[in-house]
A and B are shown apart, each in its own frame.
Chain A
Amino acid sequence: ELKVEQNPLFLSMQEGKNYTIYCNYSTTSDRLYWYRQDPGKSLESLFVLLSNGAVKQEGRLMASLDTKARLSTLHITAAVHDLSATYFCAVGYYGNKLVFGAGTILRVKS
């Protein structure tokens, strides 16, 4: 059974500093997705990583995938308040099934 682990589960960030969220998964997959969720809202797609070594960047967020290590990272550069949300990684499994991590709650302090 595929398991997805995120850490940390909670991240209190200071504005302007850099942080990383880690996503480990237990079985082979070449598909890794990152989502953002604001309170009471649905999932907003951030990144789709489709191959080993894939790196994508959008604003202050950068995601990478190492399929050999079964690890994806979401790096936050110079945190700002509007990045406060819950971030999920999800591993794409055969037949369009997604297995999600537990989520990382990000809070940015001024």
Chain B
Amino acid sequence: DAGVTQSPTHLIKTRGQQVTLRCSPKSGHDTVSWYQQALGQGPQFIFQYYEEEERQRGNFPDRFSGHQFPNYSSELNVNALLLGDSALYLCASSLDPGGGWDTEAFFGQGTRLTVV
């Protein structure tokens, strides 16, 4: 089992550009959550996808959007990049708790995005 994999590992973009980050969840997991970790801070929840729909969203602008595919993999898109979008983006996969509280999340290695 390869665990949670993210691509690319590093990315440099210019202000105003758009970026797409990718995540393949751990085998058997159906839920993907995305987190942004700015330098020196704890990860912040961006949104979560389940059954190809956005199920929960944190306090992030509409420039941040996502998608989940039938194989449960996911993409995070950020439009009109700002310098402040520079961060480590973490993908976490889990199994839907089916109405329960939560299940353990497993994190990928992250994508380091630098906006210049």
Contact surface of A with B, Cβ cutoff 8 Å: 4, 29-31, 33, 35, 40-43, 45, 48, 88, 90, 92-103
A-B contact pairs, 29 of them (CB 8 A): A30-B101, A33-B104, A42-B90, A42-B108, A42-B109, A42-B110, A45-B104, A45-B106, A45-B107, A48-B104, A90-B42, A90-B43, A92-B101, A92-B102, A94-B101, A95-B48, A95-B55, A95-B102, A96-B33, A96-B97, A96-B102, A96-B103, A96-B105, A98-B35, A98-B43, A98-B45, A100-B35, A100-B44, A103-B42
Distance (whole angstroms) from the CB of A13 to the closest CB of chain B: 20
From B31, B41, B48, give the contact of A102 (CB < 8 A).
B41
Q: Which of B41, B104, B110 gathers the greatest number of chain A CB atoms within 10 Å?
A: B104
Number of CB contacts from chain A to chain B under 8 A? 68
From A30, A96, A101, give the contact of B42 (CB < 8 A).
A101
Residues of B within 8 A of A (CB-CB), count? 29
Are A41's CB and B109's CB within 8 A?
A: yes
Are A96's CB and B110's CB within 8 A?
A: no
B94 interface residue, CB < 8 Å from A?
Answer: yes
B76 interface residue, CB < 8 Å from A?
Answer: no
Contact surface of B with A, Cβ cutoff 8 Å: 31, 33, 35, 41-45, 48, 55-56, 58, 88, 90, 92, 94, 96-97, 101-110, 112
Residues of chain B contacted by A43 (CB below 8 angstroms): 43, 90, 107
Residues of chain B contacted by A35 (CB below 8 angstroms): 107
Distance (whole angstroms) from the CB of A80 to the closest CB of chain B: 25
Are A97's CB and B41's CB within 8 A?
A: no
Report the separation of the CA atoms of residues A97 and B41 in the bound assembly, to the nearest whole angstrom.
17
Report the separation of the CA atoms of residues A49 and B107 in the bound assembly, to the nearest whole angstrom.
17
Residues of chain B contacted by A99 (CB below 8 angstroms): 45
Which residue of A has the minimal Cβ distance to B103?
A96
Residues of chain A contacted by B41 (CB below 8 angstroms): 102-103
Report the separation of the CA atoms of residues A97 and B57 in the bound assembly, to the nearest whole angstrom.
9
